[in-house]
Structure 1
Amino acid sequence: MFLKNAWYVASTPDELTDKPLGRTICGENIAFYRGEANRVAAVENFCPHRGAPLSLGKVCDGKLVCGYHGLEMGCDGKTIAMPGQRVRGFPAIKSYAVVERHGFVWVWPGDAALASPDTIPHLEWHNNPAWAYGGGLFHIQCDYRLMIDNLMDLTHETYVHANSIGQKEIDEVPCKTTVEGDQVITSRFMHNITAPPFWQMALRGNNLADDVPVDRWQICRFTPPSNVMIEVGVAHAGKGGYDAAPEHKANSIVVDFITPETATSIHYFWGMARQFNPADQALTASIREGQGKIFSEDLEMLELQQKNLLAHPGRALLMLNIDAGGVQSRKVLDRLIAQQQAATAASTTY
């Protein structure tokens, strides 16, 4: 179900304060906290004494202290101390590979020995004055693959987001889907159209006219385990479209990190990175607010879709040409998960 030997966004750094954070990732119940030297640590959210959630405890001098009986836990999953008790024989709990990088906390829920920080995606906009970024987090009750389907098929914008980014030309212009190794790319280019309300606002944010014809593009890129980056934008028509000079367009990268919680729930880290007018904090806040409203509309649709699918597990779903991005993304996931399962089975065979 999940590709566990992979990096997932677990939280944003500001979520880790002086208290631990409990969060389930790919079915793994994990306690995150800042250990010694402010380094992020992650251990199984299970006290070896009486099974209490360690996330209900506190952090003292870089040690995770259980909130039930005061057991002190090290970042390696080994018990350090407990008031009035000898702890040398206490069993260790699972610890996880975790890294704070590019404005996120990343966790590897599988075999920590296989985790290499070098494979964490590079996010060029982090701490880069040429870029601006704003985003948020939603907890959504749906299978993570439904969100991947949603993001790899943007024809739904015409209907779900009719008052913000939707327009009839999305239906009228076919999309193209390609597979490059483990990456799936779905693209659509629209020419000489009217910009929808969200993009009119973005054009004004780049000091451009919002009432003239534009060329619009959507390029969705899925990469395992469940990340979707979408290049989106509009340019004044006749100025080169996607390749237009910066002074003629408003373009961004929609950032989607989809972290499975359970089989039917996700942590959805969303945002938008842009290079036009990056110093305008009011524009960043306005875009973030608009994007949040757009994704809230997806939330309702996905949760009710999930309820329908659970209520009718035997119903076959139709696969159309617009579903190619999601279908190909699932094929990549299925292949990688099967390889992971085969490797696990091989390692346990004597």
Structure 2
Amino acid sequence: MGAAHHSVSEPQAAPAIWPKNAWYVACTPDEIDGKPLGRMICGERIAFFRNQDGEASAVEDFCPHRGAPLSLGFVRDGNLVCGYHGLAMGCKGQAVDMPGQRVKGFPPIRHFAVIERYGFIWIWPGRADEADPAKLHHLHWAEDAGWAYGGGMFHIQCDYRLMIDNLMDLTHETYVHSSSIGQKEIDEAPVKTRVEGNEVHTSRTMEGIKAPPFWQMALRGAGLPGDADVDRWQICRFSLPSHVMIEVGVALAGTGGYDAEIANKASSIVVDFITPETETSHWYFWGMARQFAIDDARLTDTVREGQNTIFSEDLEMLERQQQNLSLYPDRRLLKLNIDAGGVRSRMMIDHAIAQESSDHLSCEEA
């Protein structure tokens, strides 16, 4: 009787949870001024630096000599010099020189497409030769002198999709942010969810209410009475790969709400760029673009400090949520109507990932 033959299955790669052929915020310009920056994005370890022309560049954070992180080195004449043995790498991943060695015949390491625009440095984690600048999300407020902006960045230990869920369902404000932007009227106002083109929208309005503390401050900053009755709105807009822009504001009651004249409201856009790091961590670039008191630098600082406090409350909740989900990966979660925005956003992400996989297979078969 012959020996039994047992087939050995190849280990399966974990399914992708983020699109790679898309633009993500990688960092802010100040983070690479005069020095390299190492950052993992979409599972890729990447070193960012400025080349000889001052342009943002990105290569894999791996020295081809001995595997040291290039981000621990320094920039010289626009090249990234490894801090271990001095191998200099160019912005396209090519070995340029090394003391006493001939290295120009080395195969290049991977480089990434980057764009510096709107006050951010964006990266395309997919193939550099497939990067499409036309797919960069347009930020009208960043090019309009009628807007002011201030923001920051958090490193959060949770799946980036949990942050999208959080931002597409603002019901949590009543509970997580009860001392700043939360109020019972949020729970009482119905939520509308719809898909418009390549965006998922969720929205709610509240009429004839008192503004919560953060918005009372914003009203005063806009030269309006903080204790006035107001009409309030929240319009969350998700777009690929992981951006959420939230139009928020309050207007003096009866003056038109969202459509009120600028003189009668405090109106702004909460800016949320969510960049995956690993399956359970992400970089969260947050801020607020506003249309009132745009020359008031002190107000910009006050708004930034307020947002920092608000988002810090989210951070604790999200990280503890991730810990629970990691401990109990097979637990089924309830779905409610308030979850529709997050569910539809995840469906859009899954479709983009599936499309990338299909395109990849088509290229391999061609």
Alignment TM-score > 0.5, same fold: yes
One of 31, 37, 48 as aligned partner of 1:21:
37
* In the alignment, structure 1 residue 328 sits paired with structure 2 residue 344: yes
Q: What are the superposed Cα offsets for residues 268-289 of structure 1, whole Å, 9 maximum, x if unpaired?
A: 0000000111000011100000
5+ unaligned residues in a row in structure 2: which ranges?
1-16
Q: What's the CA shift for 1:127?
A: 5.3
Secondary structure class of the residue paired with 1:125? helix
Determine the structure 2 residue equivalent to 1:317.
333
One of 158, 182, 187 as aligned partner of 1:171:
187
Q: What are the superposed Cα offsets for residues 281-332 of structure 1, whole Å, 9 maximum, x if unpaired?
A: 0111000000110000000000000000000000000000000000000001
* Amino acid paired to 2:288: M
Secondary structure class of the residue paired with 1:333? helix
Q: What's the CA shift for 1:88?
A: 3.2
Q: Which moved more, 1:120-129 or 1:335-344?
A: 120-129
Asked whether the 8 Å contact 2:262–2:292 carries over to 1, the reply is yes
One of 197, 218, 228 as aligned partner of 1:212:
228
Determine the structure 2 residue equivalent to 1:64.
80
Determine the structure 1 residue equivalent to 2:209.
193
* In the alignment, structure 1 residue 11 sits paired with structure 2 residue 22: no
Determine the structure 2 residue equivalent to 1:31.
47
Asked whether the 8 Å contact 2:94–2:104 carries over to 1, the reply is no
Q: What are the superposed Cα offsets for residues 78-107 of structure 1, whole Å, 9 maximum, x if unpaired?
A: 101111111133121000000111100000
Cα distance in 2, alignment partners of residues 148 and 108 from structure 1:
20
Secondary structure class of the residue paired with 1:276? coil
Q: What's the CA shift for 1:124?
A: 2.2
Secondary structure class of the residue paired with 2:258? helix
In structure 2, relative to structure 1, the CA distance for the partners of 1:127 and 1:332 (3 Å cut) is closer
Normalised to the residue count of structure 2, the TM-score between the two structures is 0.94
Normalised to the residue count of structure 1, the TM-score between the two structures is 0.99
RMSD: 0.9
Determine the structure 1 residue equivalent to 2:58.
42
* Amino acid paired to 1:298: D
* In the alignment, structure 1 residue 261 sits paired with structure 2 residue 277: yes
Cα distance in 2, alignment partners of residues 333 and 38 from structure 1:
34
* In the alignment, structure 1 residue 54 sits paired with structure 2 residue 70: yes
Cα distance in 2, alignment partners of residues 310 and 115 from structure 1:
34
4+ aligned runs moved over 6 Å, structure 1: none
Cα distance in 1, alignment partners of residues 146 and 20 from structure 2:
34
5+ unaligned residues in a row in structure 1: which ranges?
none
Which of structures 1 and 2 has the bigger CA Rg?
A: 2
| Count of residue correspondences | 350
